[in-house]
Amino acid sequence: MSLKIAFCASNAPVAQSALAGLTRRYGNHAEEGADVIVALGGDGFMLHTMHRTQELEVPVYGMNRGTVGFLMNEYSEHGLEERLAAAEEAVINPLSMRAHRSDGSLHEELAINEVSLLRAGPQAARLAIHVDGKLRMPELVCDGALLATPAGSTAYNYSAHGPILPIGAEVLALTAVAAFRPRRWRGALLPKAAEVTFEVLEHEKRPVMAEADSQSVRDVLRVDIRSEPSVAHRVLFDPGHGLEERLIREQFV
Q: Return d(Cα 50, Cα 66) in angstroms, integer.
A: 16
| 107 marked as binding residue | no
Task: List, in sequence order, every beta strand (DSSP E) within the chain.
Answer: 5-9, 36-41, 60-64, 88-92, 95-101, 106-111, 114-119, 125-131, 134-142, 144-148, 171-177, 188-191, 196-201, 208-212, 215-217, 220-227, 233-237
What pLDDT score does 96 carry? 98
| pLDDT for 167 | 77
What's 5-92+232-251's CATH class? Answer: alpha beta
Q: Could you give the CA distance from residue 26 to residue 23 in angstroms, rounded to a whole number?
A: 5
Q: Which pLDDT does position 241 carry in this prediction?
A: 74
Residue 67 has what pLDDT? Answer: 82
Please indicate whether residue 43 is annotated as part of the active site: yes
113 is in an annotated binding site: yes
In angstroms, rounded to a whole number, what is the distance separating the alpha carbons of residues 69 and 39? Answer: 11
Please state the domain extents for the chain.
5-92+232-251, 95-227
pTM: 0.87
Q: Tell me, which fold does domain 95-227 have in CATH?
A: Tumour Suppressor Smad4 (2.60.200)
Q: Tens digit of pLDDT per residue, the chain (253 long)?
A: 589 999 999 999 999 999 999 999 999 999 999 999 999 999 999 999 999 999 998 999 999 998 877 889 999 999 999 999 999 998 999 999 999 999 999 999 999 999 999 999 999 999 999 999 999 999 999 999 999 999 899 889 999 999 988 877 899 999 999 999 998 888 999 999 999 999 999 999 999 999 999 899 999 999 999 999 999 999 999 987 766 777 777 777 7
The annotation status of 178 as a binding-site residue, yes or no, is: yes
SS3 39: strand
Longest Cα–Cα distance of the chain, Å, equals 63
Q: State how far the Cα of 162 lies from the Cα of 23, in Å rounded to an integer.
A: 40
Which of 43, 213, 219, 224 is an active site residue? 43
Tell whether residue 26 is among the known ligand binding residues.
no
156 labelled ligand-binding: yes
